[in-house]
Amino acid sequence: QVQLVESGGGLVQAGGSLRLSCAASVRIFSINRAAWYRQAQGKQRELVAGITSGGSTDYADSVKGRFTISRDNAKNTVYLQMYGLKPEDTGVYYCNARFLTTWSTNDYWGQGTQVTVSS
């Protein structure tokens, strides 16, 4: 069973920054794709940023240029560095680990960490 533990959320003023961490119970390089999702109250969960085992990254248009996803294989941790935070970035941020096989896709989720950006 893969366990993911997020940390680093909190309350910040608009324009501020936060760094989220996702500690995994498995070797990060074994995860085909690690990602951060967020869910605002009353809205669907949406992809924020992802990073593949090969190091390729992708971002939601709304966060490009402000957020950076990275990983530290030695610490088995994935990070989301967030700058220039806006009130619309408020939500619960979830870490996701996706494992792909020839026959299946397996997703694991953390418990989430709250990010609140005040105007």
Nearest-CA neighbor of 3 among 33, 30, 24?
Answer: 24
State residue 84's pLDDT score.
Answer: 98
- The DSSP secondary-structure symbol of 88 reads G
Q: Quick: pLDDT tens for 5-28.
A: 999 999 999 999 999 999 999 898
In sequence order, what are the residues at sequence separation of 6 or more whose Cβ sits closer than 8 angstroms to the Cβ of residue 102?
A: none
Q: Quick: pLDDT tens for 42-97.
A: 999 999 999 999 999 999 999 999 999 999 999 999 999 999 999 999 999 999 99
Intra-chain end-to-end CA distance of the chain, in Å: 40
Q: How many helices (H) and strands (E) does the chain have?
A: 0, 11
State residue 29's pLDDT score.
Answer: 84
